[in-house]
């Protein structure tokens, strides 16, 4: 009799349908900080790119231009070609697209090779206060292919520069 009861539970459990697939993942662009919503929408449309989740996290936060305000670096995919790049949204100033069909440093025009990235806090640049004696540590991006090449992308003199670290 006990064995019969257990079989009934097994059959009853098998008859229950799986949980409905109503839970949807949040779109990538809605996971960005609130301040970035409008600049992201404008820059993504102008550059024909979409957020790319091929590497986790898909965006990095840091003060890349050294103005004392947090900026965002977002992995993107160019819609027409599928080429991968990085769109940097500055709190103040124009966004900058690296890769995604536009050649940049030794990374080329397609950063599909990137499987790791993080914020590197080296370097200094003047604060936006205008006082050149006040220095602020500007962040950079470290990008890499595991077991192969790596580089640091840093904002210097109003533009981003590529410094190869290994290959």
Query: What is the pLDDT confidence band of residue 5, given thresholds at 50, 70 and 90?
Result: low
Residue 24 lies in a domain: no
Residue 89 lies in a domain: yes
pLDDT above 70: residue 7: no
Query: What is the pLDDT confidence band of residue 149, given thresholds at 50, 70 and 90?
Result: confident
For residue 121, what are the CA distances in angstroms to 19, 62, 100, 114? 44, 8, 25, 19
Written as one string, the DSSP assignment of 70-125 is -EEEEEEEETTT--EEEEEE-SSS--EEEETTB-BGGGBT--TT--EEEEE----E
Query: What is the pLDDT confidence band of residue 113, given thresholds at 50, 70 and 90?
Result: very high
* Region 62-71 average pLDDT: 93
Residue 8 lies in a domain: no
Residue 156 lies in a domain: yes
What pTM did the predictor assign?
A: 0.77
Query: What is the pLDDT confidence band of residue 125, given thresholds at 50, 70 and 90?
Result: very low
Residue 63 lies in a domain: yes
pLDDT above 90: residue 58: yes
Number of domains, the chain:
1
What is the residue range of 74's domain?
A: 30-166
Residue 95 lies in a domain: yes
Residue 16 lies in a domain: no
Question: Looking at per-residue confidence, does 32 or 17 come out higher?
Answer: 32
Residue 130 lies in a domain: yes
Interatomic CA distance for residues 18 and 33, integer angstroms: 34
């Amino acid at each position: 009799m006990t064995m019969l009861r257990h079989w009934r539970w097994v059959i009853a459990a098998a008859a229950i349908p799986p949980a409905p697939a109503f839970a949807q993942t949040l779109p990538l662009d809605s996971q960005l900080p609130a301040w970035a919503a409008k600049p992201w929408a404008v820059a993504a449309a102008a550059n024909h790119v979409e957020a790319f989740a091929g590497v986790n996290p898909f965006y990095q936060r840091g003060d890349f231009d050294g103005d004392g305000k947090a900026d965002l670096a977002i992995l993107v995919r160019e819609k027409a070609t599928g080429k991968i790049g990085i769109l940097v949204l500055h709190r103040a100033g124009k966004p900058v697209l690296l890769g995604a069909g536009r050649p940049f440093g030794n990374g080329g025009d397609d950063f599909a090779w990137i499987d790791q990235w993080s914020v590197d806090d080296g370097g200094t640049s003047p604060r936006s206060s205008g006082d050149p004696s006040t220095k602020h540590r500007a962040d950079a991006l470290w990008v890499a292919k595991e077991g192969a090449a790596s580089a640091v992308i840093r904002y210097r003199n109003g533009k981003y520069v590529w410094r190869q670290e290994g290959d």
